[in-house]
Amino acid sequence: MKRYLTTTLLLLAITFVLLCKGIVVAEEETLPPDKGLANKIKNEIQKQKKVSLKHLEVTEVSPGHITIEGIADLYGEKYIAQKTAEKYNLDKIDNNIIVNPDLMRNDTDIEREIFNKIKSKLVDGYFDDVSFKVSNGVVQLFGKISRIGLIKKIMDDVIWIPGVRHVENTMTMLPVSQQDDSIRRQILQKMRNDMRVSHYFAGSFPNIIIIVEGGKVTLKGYVNSNVDKVILEQIAKSTFNVLSVINMLEYSQ
């Protein structure tokens, strides 16, 4: 009889604990959105320099999930709002800010300004490969970068260009490698010292790009003849520690 009562009481105790846990879980699952967090994010966005979003609203749909609404004149404002919200380690951010530029520009004008912005960042940038496309105000950035901080500098310029509606950045940093750095410097020095092709390195803005990743070299740029293309490839191939060379140099026949 005592054993029966003990077992019954134990079962009742376990049932009570499970019921309590169920109540707690249910309460956690139905927690109301945190308006304080939404307001905090909104206030921080509004404090950012260059940001003057119209009709800005930040709403927490559920714990860890927010939406951002508003109207921006420049894509940079939408970008900064996104980066500000990301600091809070949220599970999901729906950035529904509409970019409605005051200044309507065609893609050609935008391309010209992007080119000038990037060119100013690539002075003596023989080891950084950057390219871009523009379609209906949407900018795509491509390339492999060797210099730390260059991707951020390019992005910081492009997002504030009037007429840009969105920026898709697929630029990547090349792995840090002393051996690759040595290969880059050796190839550049040998090309500069070769009188047959040294004229390609006379200006500050590079005509030839030397990309090195894990000892593998890719040459990009424009040359005046197929002979120059072959010479530049041979110089790269003859450099110590080079494993392979992909020659993507272009020329006009």
**Which residue's structure tokens are 């491509």?**
142
Task: Determine the number of helices (DSSP H) and then strands (DSSP E) in the chain.
Answer: 7, 11
Of residues 22 and 200, the one with the higher pLDDT is 200
The model's pTM: 0.80
d(CA 75, CA 103): 12
d(CA 169, CA 135): 14
Q: Mind listing the pLDDT tens digit for each residue in 61-87?
A: 999 999 999 999 999 999 999 999 999
Average pLDDT of the chain is: 88
With vertex at residue 212, the alpha carbon angle to CA 143 and CA 172, rounded to the nearest 5 degrees, is: 30
Q: Mind listing the pLDDT tens digit for each residue in 160-207?
A: 999 999 999 999 999 999 999 999 999 999 999 999 999 999 877 788
What is the SS3 string spanning 183-212? Answer: HHHHHHHHHHHCCCCHHHHCCCCCCEEEEE
Tell whether the model's pLDDT for residue 4 goes beyond 80.
no
Q: Mind listing the pLDDT tens digit for each residue in 89-124?
A: 999 999 999 999 867 789 999 999 999 999 999 887
d(CA 116, CA 149): 18
Secondary structure (3-state) at 167: strand
